[in-house]
């Protein structure tokens, strides 16, 4: 198909620019900016819209910049490197506003004036504490292409912390590293903030064998900034080879982060640890602004009871519990609950309780027993929390704080919450992922009639 000319009307969810054909059909184009005129080729026809790739920028936006990464446009990870950072924040605000405006619930368009500009990240490159790479059939690590299983080999990622890139370059010089890659499906590199060293985690299909562990010992000894090598798989416990002594352990190993006091909320530092194969926010510095926002919205005091759903290892739970009367954290993953309990004990807290359970199931139990909380915090995965709104209405006495990593599911769930008797008070995006279209949003809702 020949190239066509398009005017980019706006940015939409997913990192696309929206344009239209002469017949009005919507065309979604990557790596363009609002206001630009581009030449593009249709690559995919779908019901109601088409996708295209830009082949030339005819009239560029003043916000267009040269992308700093040589893999940009090939690797499927970043989609906003061609845009200056100030405009990236504005685009993300507009994407959320566009979804609110088009949402079917009557209350959502009225929330647009409550939408703030995203909180900027302290680092716009070199911010990721964790990097996960795919390993192709030839044992070469990299990132997948956009909408493809094909792996793009990389030797450096500009979003990764400098410590990770240094270790990654050193690993490539080691024959033992390449012998282990052939046996793996994924490779993770994690910066341990407590030691400033890197953990190398291989995902294996089968259990690691003595020969594999010997290679890990050689690798750990050869790279000074490598703290340990780990093997992880669905059918066996994580195995860790420490660099200091080559010691092998099968117990979970943790990484530790020291949070500073949060002005107006906590007056002492907080130590949070999580298991190397578990979840944590990858932008550790921006995570501080995320926690600060949640604390400010919660308005907890010594009389306040808090329910933290999808609590993980206690990223919000521990700071919230330090200024609350009580906190109950619920999480479906056992490793995260195990770590949350340890973090609470480390903080000297006696007002917390953490339970492992599917979220909907536990909320039903709480509601059936007549329990309710002054503030409920919910931080669901990307799919959101469908059908949970009626239960949240029964459990929340006053304030509900919803932390979202997907604007589309945020709008869906907040729409259900407004039907259940909540009103939106604030919407604060937090830019956890510069150079990408992904955006975290903290929504404050209050019951129209407190319990």
Predicted confidence at residue 8, as pLDDT, reads 98
Produce one character per residue of 129-167: b if its CB has 16 or more CB atoms within 10 Å, e if not. Answer: bbbebbbbeeebbbbbebeeeebbebeebbbbbebbbbb
What pLDDT is attached to residue 250?
Answer: 53
Q: What percent of the chain has pLDDT over 90?
A: 79
Residues in CB range of 384: below 8 A, 6 or more apart? 404, 406, 409, 410, 412, 413
Q: What is the mean pLDDT of the chain?
A: 92
The pLDDT tens digits for 90-134 are 999 999 999 999 888 888 989 999 999 999 999 999 999 999 999
The mean per-residue pLDDT over the stretch 44-48 comes to 89
Which pLDDT tens digit goes with each residue over 201-219? Answer: 999 988 888 999 999 999 9
Query: What is the pLDDT at residue 255?
Result: 80
pLDDT over threshold 70, residue 1 = no
Confidence of residue 232 (pLDDT cuts 50, 70, 90): confident
Confidence of residue 244 (pLDDT cuts 50, 70, 90): low
pLDDT for res 239: 83
pLDDT at 276: 74
Which pLDDT belongs to residue 266? 84
Please give the residue that has the higher pLDDT: either 149 or 237. 149
- Please give the average per-residue pLDDT across 258-264, as a whole number: 85
| pTM for the full predicted model | 0.93
Q: How far apart are the C-alpha atoms of 99 and 112, rounded to whole Å? A: 10
Given a cut of 60, whether residue 252 has pLDDT beyond it is: no
pLDDT digits (tens, 9 = 90+) for 370-392: 999 999 999 999 999 999 999 99
| Confidence band of 146 (pLDDT split at 50, 70, 90) | confident
pLDDT given for residue 264 in this prediction: 83
Q: Say which of 69, 200, 363, 405 is annotated catalytic.
A: 405
User: Would 4-78 and 281-447 be classified into the same CATH topology?
Assistant: no
80-84, 171-175, 193-197, 253-257: the lowest-pLDDT one: 253-257
CATH of domain 4-78: 2.40.50.140
| pLDDT over 80 (residue 228) | yes
Residue 291: pLDDT over 70: yes
Specify the range with the lowest mean pLDDT, choosing from 70-79, 260-269, 347-356: 260-269
For domain 130-251, give the CATH number.
Answer: 2.40.50.1070
Catalytic status, residue 405: yes
The CATH H-level (homologous superfamily) assignment of domain 281-447 is: Vaccinia Virus protein VP39 (3.40.50.150)
Beta-carbon contacts of 18 under 8 Å, excluding residues fewer than 6 positions away, are 8, 9, 10, 11, 12, 26, 27, 28, 29
Query: Helix or strand or coil: residue 208?
Result: coil
Pick from 234, 304, 226: nearest CA to 265: 304
**Which residues make beta-bridge pairs with 5?**
39
Task: Provide the residue ranges of all domains of the chain, joining segments of one domain with +.
Answer: 4-78, 130-251, 281-447
């Amino acid at each position: 198909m020949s190239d066509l000319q398009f005017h980019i009307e706006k940015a939409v969810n997913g990192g696309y620019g929206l344009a239209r054909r002469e017949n009005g059909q919507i065309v979604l184009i990557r790596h363009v900016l609002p206001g630009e005129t581009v030449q593009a080729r249709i690559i995919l026809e779908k019901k109601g819209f088409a996708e295209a790739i830009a082949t030339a920028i005819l009239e560029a936006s003043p916000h267009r910049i040269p992308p700093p990464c040589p893999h940009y446009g090939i690797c499927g990870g970043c989609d906003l490197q061609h845009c200056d950072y100030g405009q990236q924040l504005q685009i993300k605000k507009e994407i959320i506003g566009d979804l609110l405006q088009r949402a079917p619930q009557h209350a959502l368009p009225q929330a647009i004036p409550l939408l703030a500009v995203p909180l900027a990240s302290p680092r716009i490159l070199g911010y990721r504490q964790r990097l996960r790479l795919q390993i192709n059939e030839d044992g070469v690590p990299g990132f997948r292409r956009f909408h493809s299983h094909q792996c793009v080999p990389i030797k450096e990622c500009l979003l990764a912390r400098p410590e990770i890139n240094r270790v990654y370059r050193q690993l490539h010089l080691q024959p033992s590293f390449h012998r282990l890659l052939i046996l793996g499906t994924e490779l993770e590199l994690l910066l341990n903030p407590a030691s400033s060293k890197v953990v190398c985690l291989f995902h294996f299909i089968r259990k690691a064998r003595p020969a594999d562990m010997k290679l890990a010992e050689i690798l750990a000894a050869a790279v000074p900034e490598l703290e340990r090598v780990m093997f992880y798989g669905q059918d066996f416990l994580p195995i860790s080879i420490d660099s200091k002594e080559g010691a092998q352990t099968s117990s979970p190993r943790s990484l530790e982060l020291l949070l500073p006091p949060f002005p107006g909320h906590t007056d002492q530092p907080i130590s949070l640890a999580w298991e190397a194969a578990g979840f944590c926010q990858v932008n550790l510095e921006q995570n501080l602004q995320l926690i600060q926002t949640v604390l400010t919205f919660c308005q907890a005091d010594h009389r306040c009871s808090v329910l933290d759903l999808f609590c993980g290892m206690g990223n919000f739970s521990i700071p919230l519990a330090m200024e609350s009367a009580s906190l109950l954290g619920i999480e479906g993953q056992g490793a995260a609950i195990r770590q949350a309990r340890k973090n609470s004990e480390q903080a000297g807290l006696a007002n917390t309780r953490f339970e492992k359970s599917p979220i909907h199931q536990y909320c039903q139990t709480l509601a059936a027993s007549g329990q309710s909380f002054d503030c409920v915090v919910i931080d669901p995965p990307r799919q959101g929390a469908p059908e949970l709104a009626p239960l949240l209405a029964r459990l929340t006495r006053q304030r509900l704080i919803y932390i979202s990593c997907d604007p589309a599911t945020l709008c869906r769930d907040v729409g259900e919450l407004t039907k259940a008797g909540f009103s939106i008070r604030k919407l604060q995006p937090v830019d956890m992922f510069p150079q990408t279209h992904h955006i975290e949003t903290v929504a404050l809702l209050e019951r129209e009639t407190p319990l």
